[in-house]
Structure 1
């Protein structure tokens, strides 16, 4: 036997009358006249198959059927209210799940303050933070594995993804602490010629990799790569172990590793840029709120 569907308006009228136990007071609370209220209660009683209220002059009381229905009706209305509130929160981007890809080096500078700002404004949003280099982030965005990304040197000519620069930073030379150049405050890029390099593989971030190689080419040499590592922290560790030198974004200076020295590179007019990335056709309000938060000025 199919269960009868109980219209929410009738349930609402029933709950209000059960709480007031007075047709006039219940009708006023609902903002309707008494006859429509009585009609809704009668229709509900017809669906239930039993009277829900004892009616007597000057007195209204719940029947056994009414007492049984009341908790379930209150739960149904409360569940609907919760669902509507959750839907409104999700629709406004104040709740839900946001998946964020980020370049590992940004955890040393830009990312913590950004996450704090977003959490303060949207405390009910669940954040899934995924550490990725640039190329995997681009793939994850296109495959909808992540919703937004923070990456270095995005490619040109992109149509599916949107990019916006959020900061730029100069490069530094990464040297073993005992290296002769570590005794200087600055290093000219040409002074690294002929030394073995530790670099990220090009596949991890083609834009940044080509920019570093281009810096060396402008100084008249091609860096001989002795070792490769996917993360900058590993690059620094290998440099500290004496396996070579490197050129890295300046934020890497915040990696505190024994045996590693960071020196500003001259000329210092070449900078690497960090961009946020997102799918251009994404209508998720969480993404819009994230982009607005990233655009807010803040200290790095």
Structure 2
């Protein structure tokens, strides 16, 4: 048996590196360990100088039982084989490098402050709060699911880094010092904030919170907007809605590209390559007539009967889908409409009709807009339809945007 440089009682090894801490922790937890006879402290750390085979068995036993503690409290990044790391500590003669173990131990012992400001880890705060609340290291260790010596070591390390005594310890009780009480208040506040941030981050990742700007084309403003808003406020109260009605499709496309809109409910086709467009539904055109018009006596109106009427239309300069659909339908009926007024807002268009300025063709969903003096009638013998679609940016992967879009699909029967 080799002689040892420093014979130390089991569980009383006071080292300043990771190897010493691990071995000391093991000796305390696995007393008695008669085949560990002595330890020596060399440049490589704690080294067992006798009984090699049996000491290797001990370290394997330590590693198996303390794997979580080793990885969580001492080694970062976690080691693949804690047993081998410990075996290096007991097998390496004094004066010989243990590579990763020694490098990590030395870096661990270096001061961890910048410009006088102490840097510690959240685990130190959690450990301290547990001890302060339990006023007992044993109960705190049980609460934290770690060994009591390891907890004591961590608290001492925290006090050393702060340069103040946080706790007074006796054989009968643990008490907070005045500095410890103040530190406890701040530590609780920090941990509460960190926990709240974790919860908030989870809510964002799930799409439970966020802000969504949504544009609606004129006709969708009076049917889809109110129904979708009610559903979203009920199902996703954490999502802030920014709703913009009466937006022409070209304006929505521009806003989507410029990222001032997240979702646009518009009329395809859309030829912007950076957007994803999903058709939600198709709807026919219907006639809007002044309430005093003779054709309101009929249940349906033939488009050809409107050939001599003045028409109110959406703007021609944008070449909107509805504008083109109206002209195509009229041409199929054998005439070109006589346009006397162009307006961009659906509500204004219907108001002009109610005022007797002319007639109009609009998507069927506009009938939800009720303005005194106007009447809606289905068209007989006309099959022209317009589509309503949802457009989003192809690179927008926001979970809250995806949730809103999914709910809109459900509300309208899904993409078609």
What TM bracket, shorter-length normalisation? over 0.9
User: Contact between 1:135 and 1:205, CA under 8 Å: does it hold in 2?
Assistant: no
Partner of residue 136 from structure 1, selected from 220, 243, 251: 251
- How far apart are the structure 2 equivalents of 1:216 and 1:254? 24
User: Contact between 2:280 and 2:409, CA under 8 Å: does it hold in 1?
Assistant: yes
> 1:17: which partner in 2?
131
CA RMSD of aligned residues (A): 1.7
The number of residue pairs the alignment matches comes to: 298
> 1:51: which partner in 2?
165
Partner of residue 311 from structure 2, selected from 189, 197, 207: 197
Q: TM-score, normalised by structure 2?
A: 0.68
> 1:35: which partner in 2?
149
Spell out the pairing of 1:9-158 with structure 2 (5 A cutoff): 9-131=123-245, 132-151=247-266, 153-158=267-272
Which stretch shows the higher mean deviation, 153-162 or 123-132? 153-162
Q: How far 1:59 sits from its partner (Å)?
A: 0.2
User: Contact between 2:124 and 2:154, CA under 8 Å: does it hold in 1?
Assistant: yes
Pair 1:271 & 2:271 matched: no
User: Contact between 1:16 and 1:26, CA under 8 Å: does it hold in 2?
Assistant: yes
User: Contact between 2:286 and 2:362, CA under 8 Å: does it hold in 1?
Assistant: yes
User: Contact between 2:207 and 2:400, CA under 8 Å: does it hold in 1?
Assistant: yes
Deviations 1:150-187 (A, max 9, x none): 11x21255432111122222211111111122222111
Q: Which of structures 1 and 2 has the bigger CA Rg?
A: 2
Tell me the secondary structure at the aligned position of residue 171 of structure 1.
Answer: strand
Which stretch shows the higher mean deviation, 61-70 or 177-186? 177-186
User: Contact between 2:329 and 2:382, CA under 8 Å: does it hold in 1?
Assistant: no
Tell me the secondary structure at the aligned position of residue 168 of structure 2.
Answer: strand
Partner of residue 235 from structure 1, selected from 328, 341, 349: 349
- How far apart are the structure 1 equivalents of 2:235 and 2:293? 47
In the TM superposition, structure 1's runs of 4+ consecutive aligned residues that sit over 4 Å from their partners are none
- How far apart are the structure 1 equivalents of 2:238 and 2:319? 33
- How far apart are the structure 2 equivalents of 1:204 and 1:121? 36
Distance 1:193 1:80, change over 3 A: same
Tell me the secondary structure at the aligned position of residue 309 of structure 2.
Answer: coil
Spell out the pairing of 1:259-298 with structure 2 (5 A cutoff): 259-297=373-411
Q: How far 1:224 sits from its partner (Å)?
A: 1.7
Pair 1:254 & 2:254 matched: no
- How far apart are the structure 2 equivalents of 1:24 and 1:194? 95
Deviations 1:252-286 (A, max 9, x none): 22222221121111224222221111112211111
Deviations 1:30-57 (A, max 9, x none): 1111122112111211122111001000
- How far apart are the structure 1 equivalents of 2:411 and 2:353? 34
User: Contact between 1:97 and 1:125, CA under 8 Å: does it hold in 2?
Assistant: yes
Deviations 1:224-277 (A, max 9, x none): 211111111110111111111110112222222221121111224222221111
Which stretch shows the higher mean deviation, 107-116 or 92-101? 107-116
Task: Using CA pairs under 8 Å that are at least 6 residues apart, name the structure with larger relative contact order, 1 or 2.
Answer: 1
Deviations 1:160-218 (A, max 9, x none): 21111222222111111111222221111111113211111135561121111111111
Q: How far 1:3 sits from its partner (Å)?
A: 2.2
- How far apart are the structure 2 equivalents of 1:116 and 1:261? 27
Structure 1 residues without counterparts, runs of 5 or longer: none
User: Contact between 1:133 and 1:205, CA under 8 Å: does it hold in 2?
Assistant: no
Q: How far 1:64 sits from its partner (Å)?
A: 0.6
Distance 1:297 1:128, change over 3 A: closer
- How far apart are the structure 2 equivalents of 1:23 and 1:205? 77
Give the number of the structure whose residues are more often strand, by fraction.
Answer: 1
Q: How far 1:121 sits from its partner (Å)?
A: 2.7
- How far apart are the structure 2 equivalents of 1:259 and 1:51? 83
